[in-house]
């Protein structure tokens, strides 16, 4: 079964959601620790945390929230946002994250990303690949990366890359259904890498379709917060994993 990973986005220590990464579309959903505890109690084994303040300011800003959620001790935590240096990466892992998501650095400074894969272990590093109309985007989705996603995946796989979260920017927060063609193509081209579907999930039916296609992981964010996917539905899925 495909693994469903619930998402919590953070701004100023609060749980929020955006549409297409636009901060002006911010909607708040309460305390992230309480939300994380609900997911844990329902049976989630992994949590997707994004530090939107950190992404904006190029260094982690919500590590106290990470530490608090990690204290639950029941879920693996993947953390993204603001990891632009070795010290930032180290601080995220030391604050309780099991996996660090690296996006712009990997796409623009691949040699540095490869060093981090070697130093911290490929089992703790996730490549965060954000795409728009077939192009890999960086720096808050404002610029195109110099290398293609496929070229980077070929390069990083030689250094042991195991996990990639691929976000289709055009569908992020839009509840329009996932870009299944993109993810099936990536998974078939790089079978040794676990790809996580991110962007567009609107219902449990979307997730069931991804499962039937053999995809391995999917992030559930806005669909949950907007009531399209119920916590009890997620709980039933997790109980059967």
Per-residue H/E/C for 89-153:
HHHHHHCCCCEEEECHHHHHCHHHHHHHHHHHCHHHEEEEEEEECCEEEECCCCEECCCCHHHHH
Domain residues for 19? Answer: 3-240
> Mean pLDDT for each consecutive 10-residue tract of the chain (241 residues)?
97 87 85 97 98 92 97 97 96 98 95 98 97 82 85 96 94 86 96 96 97 98 94 97 83
Distances from the Cα of 173 to the Cα of 9, 167, 198, 201, 205, angstroms:
12, 11, 9, 8, 17
Predicted confidence at residue 146, as pLDDT, reads 87
**H-helix or E-strand containing 2?**
none
Residue 53 a catalytic site member: no
The token duo for 91 is: 């601080």
Considering the candidates 130, 168, 172, 206, report the single residue annotated as catalytic.
Answer: 130
Residue 9 a catalytic site member: yes
What's 135's domain CATH number?
A: 3.20.20.70
**207, 4 contact by CB (below 8 A):** yes
**Count of the separate structural domains present in the chain:** 1
Rounded CA separation 189/184 (Å): 8
> pTM of the predicted model, to two decimals?
0.94
Taking the CA atoms of 205, 210, 213 and 216 in sequence, report the sign of the dihedral they define.
negative
């Amino acid at each position: 079964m495909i693994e469903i990973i619930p998402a919590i986005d953070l701004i100023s220590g609060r749980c929020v959601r955006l549409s297409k990464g636009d901060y002006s579309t911010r909607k708040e959903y309460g305390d992230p620790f309480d939300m994380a505890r609900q997911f844990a109690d329902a049976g989630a084994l992994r949590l997707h945390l994004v530090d939107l303040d950190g992404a904006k300011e190029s260094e982690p800003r919500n590590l106290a929230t990470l530490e608090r959620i990690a204290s639950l001790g029941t879920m693996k935590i993947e953390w993204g946002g603001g990891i632009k240096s070795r010290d930032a990466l180290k601080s995220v892992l030391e604050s309780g994250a099991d996996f660090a998501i690296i996006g712009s650095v990997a796409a623009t400074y691949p040699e540095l990303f490869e060093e981090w894969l070697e130093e911290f272990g490929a089992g703790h590093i996730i490549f965060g690949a954000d795409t728009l109309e077939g192009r890999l985007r960086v720096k808050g989705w404002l610029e195109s990366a110099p290398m293609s996603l496929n070229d980077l995946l070929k390069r990083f796989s030689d250094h042991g890359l195991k996990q990639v979260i691929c976000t289709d920017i055009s569908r992020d927060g839009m509840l329009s259904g996932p870009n299944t063609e993109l993810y099936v193509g990536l998974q078939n081209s790089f079978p040794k890498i676990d790809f996580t579907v991110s962007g567009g999930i609107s219902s449990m039916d979307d997730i069931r379709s991804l499962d039937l296609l053999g995809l391995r992981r999917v992030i559930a964010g806005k669909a949950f917060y907007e009531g399209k996917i119920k916590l009890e539905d997620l709980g039933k899925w997790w109980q059967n994993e």
